[in-house]
Structure 1
């Protein structure tokens, strides 16, 4: 492996009682790229993410980060290396303000996230950085708003801010635009483009318009295996990819009408 790959998997496999959810996946993510993992429902995308971030142990295979094996490491150890994940469902505290949510993430980076007995004033030194992060994701005006009162798209932006608070070198975004209307999707696309500067992003995403606008490289999964890989133009023209998404009859009809 060359150093241009920040993350690599070799023969990554996950079996559940005889069912193979991820089958011999070899993934190479280039440093500084936005890389998408796409595929139809049940393709194994989220399972791959769970393996990469140690929420699941692999049955077989190897995971390398910057050329070093991390297969046996724990989730918190991986996060300390700079692999930080967001989730399909917004993972912020609903009854805390946007500022408080970011501050909790900053505390976690300092190793003091569970010091709830400390006075609030002892955390004031984190406020400036929290406001900077909120500004970076376009949420400065929401600093004192309870998260439960924020629109859904802004909650997802807040989750990006809490992810950034952990100073990631590789951000893993799981369905960042799921459940959003067009306006929120556009906002999140621009946000990901902005925060990816100087970082690597690996994202699971169902919205192919988002993928085409953002991603340098795309890996297509089907039935747990890699079906195709390339840039958007390459994979979108691949008949196997079209068949996996639309079914063989629809793919043949589209081919005939092209």
Structure 2
């Protein structure tokens, strides 16, 4: 297996409580891998460890063949591991187009050229409009981000994330709070994004997980409970009891 992300023995303790305990996780290049589990399973903590928003208590994280266990979050992002968050993160009082143009600016040293004149950024318009077209927001380019409905804000966030041209895209609850139409549209966007990159996502919607994922890892109480294709893992009695059974009655 050609793993772009290889995690061994990942552990995070908070005052003696192990939120993540000895997790092994390998994400194969150019696949969609889902990380699922009930509330409190440790999924978000894992994401924070992988993207270096938290430092592990023990274990190793290898990304694209490089040990990044001690690497900072900004440097990891520059290497091509880019994360979106469960809560939409956009510049509310900038236009949709401006949001994507800012994301398209490449870092210069340790900072972005954030305050460049309008005419200097206009050269990015074609590329920005292409990304907006990909996520179905071309017609909203001149609207303020704050004016978009929730599902469209999440689409904008995905466009800005893709503007950073990630090798590994980490999505935290990409369909959370969406209606059926927006869920279907977002799932299609993720599928298209994965044609040229690897996706690791935390997702509660099991229909989305089963439809998109090449492989899933189930966490429970901070440990790996099961791993494999959805069709196989979904029949595991321990998984049904710990996650899917309770979710089916929610």
User: TM-score under structure 1 normalisation?
Assistant: 0.92
Select 1:124's aligned residue among 122, 125, 128: 122
Residue 67 of structure 1: aligned partner: 65
Instruction: State the shift of 1:108 in Å.
Output: 4.4
Query: Aligned residue for 1:187?
Result: 185
Residues 1:176 and 2:174 are matched in the alignment? yes
Shift of residue 114, structure 1, vs aligned partner: 4.6
Aligned-pair CA distance for 1:67: 2.1
Instruction: Give the paired residue count.
Output: 247
Question: Does the aligned pair in 1 maintain the 2:107–2:113 contact within 8 Å?
Answer: no
Indicate how the Cα distance of structure 1 residues 247 and 198 shifts in structure 2: closer, same or farther if over 3 A, else same: closer
Structure 1 unaligned residues grouped into runs of 5+: 252-258
Q: Which SS does the other structure have where 1:245 is aligned?
A: helix
Which aligned runs of 4 or more in structure 1 are off by greater than 4 angstroms? 108-112
Q: Which one has a bigger Cα radius of gyration?
A: 1
TM-score when scaled to structure 2?
0.95
Alignment match, 1:220: 218
CA distance in 1, matches of 2:238, 2:3: 26
Residue 233 of structure 1, aligned match among 220, 231, 234: 231
**Counterpart Cα distance in 2 of 1:108 and 1:158:** 18
How far does residue 151 in structure 1 lie from its aligned partner after superposition? 1.2
3-state DSSP class of the match of 2:132?
A: helix
- Partner Cα separation in structure 2 for residue 247 and residue 199 of structure 1: 32
**Partner SS, residue 124 of structure 2:** helix
Per mean C-alpha deviation after superposition, the further-off stretch among 132-141 and 82-91 is 132-141
Question: Unaligned 5+ residue runs, structure 2?
Answer: none
Q: CA RMSD in A?
A: 1.7
